[in-house]
Chain A
């Protein structure tokens, strides 16, 4: 395993490592993880395990706990106890993640996983924890505690804490003199516990508990001398630690960042150094980026569908223009009548001309399909019959209108054929409006479907997030 990850060039690590070692040997040198049961069976005590672990962490950056246990030839349980203590003391950072055994090895070697996320889902996932020294927090916490130690000794020396404390021998509860009102008993002269009504005992939480609180002047002076000696001794013994803290104060603090950031940085460094699998981090990044991609793809697909529809419509429009010339050439008589009608329609209504052209185009296309002359003759007969019927209908309508309005009747009498043509135009206009409405209806469900799909995607993402949250909960429980 790589014991030293990529080190930031600008940051000097040696003074901080020395600080960590000083703290380890100053305050955790006699720490043991033994319980009462283990003491009998153990061959030798485990004093010094905390210092050993801190030294090993000082030589590494983010490291998996199992790998660290293997390197140090310790039990994983043993190591986990120590690391949990340091996490509570805020000396180290810890991160948990689910990954396969192969992925864990790759990650611990600062290389991204080779397999995709989908493949990993099939394999069993285990929760692995990574830890790393947090030099910034170590500086702050050590200074904080040193300050508190001195403050406690000085307060003791100046007799600041004059509040008496009492303890119950039965239920191990503690009270102070400010609770005296609740502790007074009517039966006898002593204080009694609220919970079990037992008699309270005066507690001495002084650092020099051997001395009597209400001693004479000589005893009090002796206690004060002891406290002064302790304070001086503390100053002398903490001097190397304070010197190292002052030396470290002005230096830039090494910051490894969170585990994910460090991992990405390590992968980039490995890639620059000519890693054997240069594509792996790219794949992993692609894997991370795979979740938003399907959404974008679906959006594009919808856009293409819309374009296709438009193309179809435009093609229909183009085909209608080409059929016009042969029809006009072949049928001279019909053309003359239509030419007259078209001119008048254009004069009255601009849209009417287009509609008429469409209708005539449809008829021409039908004729064009059948190449035989017999079909043409039959069609012409049917056409003339329908024309006669329409003329009769138009005449009837004109009569009705003339009865309603005499002035309009005069005009209709003079221009009979024009009226008939105008009636056709009106019908055609109505049909055109219907078609437009149909188009609008067709467009609306398309957009509605799109919105619905988008909503589904949003819900899917939300559900995905929920799943992630659940997994996080599981991780913590397992941890």
Chain B
């Protein structure tokens, strides 16, 4: 009697599995061609004598995933294909694309046409390949590309050129071939085509910047005349021309520092001691 009960349960499971498989096959017939109907009955016939529930469930999940992928909207399928092309960096036929990411472009014409016109994909009649913003493949080509953009090029536009772009950019920046600056939102690469002309130590750079320039350019000219050099600037002439135009071009005078009271300063208003509360040393002295 126990054996009979087990046999009845097994028969019920068999009926359920056959119903689900038949529904999947029917949905396939709508979207795919008649070729793929052929292996389905073979699979069913093969798996009947095995009678293993684990295999049924795993196969079902795989088929459901494939079904979900093929039922997704066109944009999602296109993105899936482009991501595959980006990762592989190879020219793939539609069959290979179907094999890797289960997007069947022959069955879905909308996906095929959109992908052919997509700016990120290149179709040569037989194969699809990824098309980067800039056609750059290695470090030297990257450097020559950056040098074409004198006013800088955004790093975002370079990231999809090839996988190791960022590492190459950092290497070029470290070697001084490019400047890599950030404006708190993105990085920008600028060319430095003036390299190895001059090399100055940091101490000399600091010394150069520490030297103060007099506020009036006339003083610089006088100093140059003392040395024996001829000044290139003619400030007096410039100011005369500016006055004819009516522009005031005089340099601003620096604010003079307030002279603090020292102990040598003679203090008046001695009968008002609250005026000198701020003084520490002089008050103690007095």
Chain A residues with CB under 8 Å of chain B are 21-22, 25-27, 29-30, 41-44, 46-49, 51-52, 55-56, 59, 71-75, 78, 88-90, 134-137, 139-141, 143-145, 147-149, 152, 182, 194-197, 207, 230, 233-234, 237-238, 240-241, 249, 253, 257-258, 260-261, 472
> With the chains together, A249 CA to B183 CA distance in Å?
38
> With the chains together, A197 CA to B200 CA distance in Å?
43
A-B contact count (CB 8 A): 158
B192/A148 in contact, CB under 8 A: no
B281/A195 in contact, CB under 8 A: yes
A195/B198 in contact, CB under 8 A: no
B224/A21 in contact, CB under 8 A: no
B264/A194 in contact, CB under 8 A: yes
CB-defined contacts of B152 to chain A, threshold 8 Å: 52, 72-73
> With the chains together, A302 CA to B224 CA distance in Å?
59
CB distance from B249 to the nearest CB of A (A): 8
Q: Mark B196-218, 1 if CB is under 8 A from A, else 0.
A: 01111111110111010100010
A59/B179 in contact, CB under 8 A: no
CB-defined contacts of B260 to chain A, threshold 8 Å: 195
Q: Lowest 8 A-B CB distances belong to which pairs?
A: A48-B179, A197-B281, A194-B262, A136-B233, A136-B232, A139-B232, A52-B190, A21-B194
CB-defined contacts of A134 to chain B, threshold 8 Å: 233
CB-defined contacts of A72 to chain B, threshold 8 Å: 151-152, 188, 190
CB-defined contacts of B93 to chain A, threshold 8 Å: none
> With the chains together, A207 CA to B204 CA distance in Å?
11
Q: Can you name the residue of chain B whose Cβ is closest to the Cβ of A233?
A: B201
B38 within 8 A of A: no
CB-defined contacts of B200 to chain A, threshold 8 Å: 26-27, 237-238
**5 A-B pairs whose Cβ atoms sit less than 8 Å apart in the complex:** A59-B150, A197-B285, A237-B198, A260-B245, A261-B241
Q: Can you name the residue of chain B whose Cβ is closest to the Cβ of A59?
A: B150
B183/A74 in contact, CB under 8 A: yes
Apart from A47-B179, A49-B179, A88-B213, what 9 extra A-B contacts exist at CB < 8 Å?
Answer: A27-B200, A55-B194, A73-B152, A140-B220, A140-B233, A144-B220, A194-B264, A197-B285, A237-B198
A140/B247 in contact, CB under 8 A: no
B204/A52 in contact, CB under 8 A: no
A27/B179 in contact, CB under 8 A: no
B151/A44 in contact, CB under 8 A: no
CB-defined contacts of A26 to chain B, threshold 8 Å: 198, 200, 205, 208
B247/A260 in contact, CB under 8 A: yes
The residue that A52 contacts in the complex, of B181, B186, B205, B229, with Cβ under 8 A, is B181
A48/B151 in contact, CB under 8 A: no
A140/B221 in contact, CB under 8 A: yes
B182/A237 in contact, CB under 8 A: no
CB distance from B212 to the nearest CB of A (A): 9
CB-defined contacts of A194 to chain B, threshold 8 Å: 262-264, 281
B209/A27 in contact, CB under 8 A: yes
How many residues of B are in contact with the other chain, CB < 8 A? 58
B227 within 8 A of A: yes
- Looking at chain A's contact residues, the main secondary structure is helix
CB distance from A249 to the nearest CB of B (A): 8
CB-defined contacts of B241 to chain A, threshold 8 Å: 257-258, 261
CB distance from B197 to the nearest CB of A (A): 6
CB-defined contacts of A43 to chain B, threshold 8 Å: 182, 187
A51/B201 in contact, CB under 8 A: no
Highest count of chain A CB atoms <10 Å: which of B180, B208, B220, B248: B208
Given contacts A140-B224, A140-B231, A149-B207, contact A46 B182 (CB under 8 A): yes
CB distance from A213 to the nearest CB of B (A): 20
B198/A25 in contact, CB under 8 A: yes
CB-defined contacts of B138 to chain A, threshold 8 Å: none
CB distance from A158 to the nearest CB of B (A): 18
B280 within 8 A of A: yes
The residue that B213 contacts in the complex, of A59, A90, A234, with Cβ under 8 A, is A90
CB-defined contacts of A148 to chain B, threshold 8 Å: 211
CB distance from B186 to the nearest CB of A (A): 8
The residue that B211 contacts in the complex, of A88, A145, A195, with Cβ under 8 A, is A145
B201/A75 in contact, CB under 8 A: no
B175 within 8 A of A: no
The residue that A27 contacts in the complex, of B151, B194, B208, B230, with Cβ under 8 A, is B208
Interface positions, chain B 211-264, Cβ under 8 Å from A, are 211, 213, 217, 220-221, 223-224, 227, 229-234, 238, 241-242, 245, 247-249, 260, 262-264
> With the chains together, A234 CA to B208 CA distance in Å?
11
CB-defined contacts of A143 to chain B, threshold 8 Å: 224, 227, 229
B46 within 8 A of A: no
CB-defined contacts of B268 to chain A, threshold 8 Å: none
A22/B197 in contact, CB under 8 A: yes
